[in-house]
Amino acid sequence: MRQEIRLTVNDQEYELIVGVNKTLLDVLRDDLGLTGTKRGCDSGVCGACTVLLDGKPILSCMTLACEMDGRKIQTIEGIAKGGELHPVQKAFVEFGAIQCGFCTPGMVLSAIALLKRNPSPTIEEIKKAISGNLCRCTGYIKIIEAIYRA
């Protein structure tokens, strides 16, 4: 079975026909070519596929695309404006919070969602906000510091 959906992704509208079992991750990567959203575990554990749905972080590997009809999605490709990095991206670079970079898109989007609802989070609030995003390289210290400074 297939279904027609309309999505707004990074402020651009799309009309798509998708299989009812196709994930948002697959639509973003395969149909729209937005490969910044990473496929990690495909089971909702690692957070590499995190995107913002109406401003809130979700796991796109666990979200059916057909349920996103009429919704606003923001991916890592949509946060820099006019060639200027988002402040969270800048902080990740400045504080060396990137090593392999695989977790970075999900971490950055989770951080942006946190900072929108709480512009001055504590270290504990930062840890809680990124608890669904796994990093195998940095040990989290630089990531937490970058988010705190952003």
Give the pLDDT confidence of 22-74 residue by residue, as tens digits.
Answer: 999 999 999 999 999 999 999 999 999 999 999 999 999 999 999 999 999 99
Q: Which CATH architecture has domain 87-149?
A: Orthogonal Bundle (1.10)
Contact (CB, 8 A) for 49 and 30? no
Q: Give the amino acid at 118.
A: N
Q: What pLDDT does 107 receive?
A: 97
Asked whether this chain's domains 2-78 and 87-149 adopt the same fold, the reply is no
Find how far residue 16's CA is from the centre of its chain: 21
Residues 6 or more apart whose Cβ sits within 8 Å of residue 17: 2, 3, 4, 5
pTM for this predicted structure: 0.94
pLDDT in tens, 82-113: 989 999 999 999 999 998 999 999 999 999 99
Boundaries of every domain in the chain? 2-78, 87-149
Percent of the chain topping pLDDT 90: 94
Query: Is the pLDDT reported for residue 139 higher than 80?
Result: no
E strands in the chain: 2-9, 12-19, 50-53, 56-59, 72-74
2-78 homologous superfamily:
Beta-grasp domain (3.10.20.30)
pLDDT in tens, 11-31: 999 999 999 999 999 999 999
